[in-house]
Structure 1
Amino acid sequence: MAGRLADKAQEVVKEEYDKAKLLLNDAARSGSYMYPIKGIFYLISHPELWKPLRSRLLPYLTLYSSVLGSMFFFTYLPQLAVMAFANGPLAVFTTALLILNESSTITGILSKNYVLQDAILDTFDGTLLARNKGDVVAEGREVKTRGDSIQRLGKALKKPFRCFSINELIRYVMYLPLNIVPVVGTVTFLLLRGRSRGESVHDRYFQLKGWTSSKRSKWLKDHKGPYTAFGTVATLLEMIPVASIVFSFTNTVGAALWAADIEAKESHMAGSTAPELREAAKKAE
């Protein structure tokens, strides 16, 4: 009996290892983890995209400082006492990392639903316009013919960004105990948060393309590795105190750059396939 259980345990471990290896390979081949970094440099080199960020900077910083200060004041010592049992001396750092993540999550929930929603929407659409994807943006809002990529943005006809759901909160609370496990638990927690974060980065793109819920789900399932990689890097950047708002926008820019590249690839594939289909039709005649 014990031998069978041991064999079964080894089989499960191997299966999970193979899944993780495949996920990492997909992420590495896609290069998606670079898009949050590309977003930083693209935002720096395109000053017109700073406008939505500047307009919401003060309200966000006020919110973030209030949340972060309150979390450290009220929850650091209680969480440190719990983490010390498993992490020992490292608990000082892992607890601080945990609170940064918690503060980032709380601020993200509040800001993206009340403070930053329209600004992030404008940044995503503006980046697509800057990448000459006006036909895609026109599916979800009015697009003017003159001005820079932000000035050309007209009235939004669709607003895709999902409000925070109770399911996200439940998942976040479920993941928290992983931080008790030294190092490995914290890394796993960040990866799970990254996967959740990655699933929402192209909500706007999917809406502009008119994708159904089933098509969206299938796409995310088929590209789980790349989206987890993007989401993990984005989560780490947004955990940086004070600068998190800047990275919220650079991550949005990075997501839009990725969407533009996906769009360009699909257009190229469609363009190269059409002549082949026409040639096949002629031969059939």
Structure 2
Amino acid sequence: MADRVKETAKQEAEKLRQTSVEALRSGSYVYPIRGIAYFISHRSLWKPLLAKLAPTLTLGLGITTFMFAFTYLPQVAMLFFTSGPIAAITTVLLVLSESSTLTMVLSKALLIEDALIDTFDGTLVARGEAPLVERQRQVKSSSAGDSIARLGKLVSKPFAKFTPSGIIRYFMYLPLNFIPIVGTAVFVMLQGKRTGPGAHSRYFQLKNMDTTAREKFVEERTGSYTAFGVASVLLEMVPIAGIFFAFTNTCAAALWAADMEQAQTKADGTSPELRDQAKKAS
């Protein structure tokens, strides 16, 4: 039995090592930074964020107040055994991180779902991938205005409605933060591995991927999605600014999707428009 446990642990460690190497080599962790730059330089993409800014900040303030009122003292007591006198400071940072994460989970589920879809689709349109977006929503001609103004009615929505699973999973991983440095790193890695593929849920829908195709696509790029997810999670954990980074990360995911499409175009030797017309004709 002991040998079996050791072998399993060895296999998991090797799998984690391979994923980490693939993540570093992929370079996908750069996309969240590119997303910030692209978002800032394209004012039209600000519209969905500005429309949802006030209610999201109000939600964030309420969650942060609640977390400090009811969770600060219990957590500082537990962290005292691992962090000693600096527990008071580290707990403040932990509660701010928790509050930011909970704000992101709830706001994405209840407040900004449509705004994130518009940001993703608008970025694709700005990158010349309107034919891809047209598979799931109306896209007006360029004379209609900027990339957001060109977005028409949605055919369907890709993001799952609110379920408690995300929050439950988050609190299951939360005790890892009580382990200095290593625990926090593992926590972020696990969160990133889960959220990375979720950033492309809209892309998978636009590509008409079923569950099997989506799982295969993600499995072949596990390291890339983990690297993207970790970078995104770290940004969204920043207190107050997390809502801004939620939109820039969505922009980043769309930029990555556009690069994938353009790489496929070069490999196929055909334009997106011709590929789309061929699929409709078949």
The amino acid that maps onto 2:140 is K
The equivalent residue for 1:16 is 12
- Cα drift, residue 196 of structure 1: 1.5
The equivalent residue for 1:79 is 75
The equivalent residue for 1:47 is 43
Superposition map of 1:37-186 within 5 A: 37-145=33-141, 146=143, 147-186=145-184
The equivalent residue for 1:229 is 227
**Alpha-carbon distance in 1 for matches of 2:89, 2:214:** 38
The amino acid that maps onto 2:88 is V
The amino acid that maps onto 2:196 is G
**Alpha-carbon distance in 2 for matches of 1:190, 1:260:** 26
Are 1:34 and 2:23 matched, yes or no? no
The amino acid that maps onto 2:94 is L
Superposition map of 1:270-281 within 5 A: 270-271=268-269
The amino acid that maps onto 1:164 is F
The equivalent residue for 2:275 is none
Larger Cα-atom Rg: 1
- Cα drift, residue 40 of structure 1: 0.3
Give CA-to-partner distance per residue, 1:39-74, whole Å, 9 cap, x none.
Answer: 000011111111111111111111111111221122
Superposition map of 1:181-220 within 5 A: 181-220=179-218
- Cα drift, residue 241 of structure 1: 1.4
Give CA-to-partner distance per residue, 1:151-179, whole Å, 9 cap, x none.
Answer: 10011111111123333233222211212
Structure 1: gaps spanning 5 or more residues: 273-285
**Alpha-carbon distance in 2 for matches of 1:202, 1:99:** 29
CA contact under 8 A between 2:79 and 2:91: conserved in structure 1? yes
Partner-residue secondary structure (3-state), 2:71? helix
**Alpha-carbon distance in 2 for matches of 1:186, 1:92:** 17
Structure 2: gaps spanning 5 or more residues: 271-282
TM-score normalised per structure 2? 0.89
TM-score normalised per structure 1? 0.88
Question: Cα distance 1:71–1:212, how it changes in 2: closer, same or farther (>3 A)?
Answer: same
CA contact under 8 A between 1:237 and 1:244: conserved in structure 2? yes
Partner-residue secondary structure (3-state), 2:153? strand
The alignment yields a C-alpha RMSD, in angstroms, of: 1.8
Partner-residue secondary structure (3-state), 1:155? strand
Are 1:269 and 2:267 matched, yes or no? yes
Task: Give the fraction of aligned pairs with identical amino acids, expressed as a percent.
Answer: 51
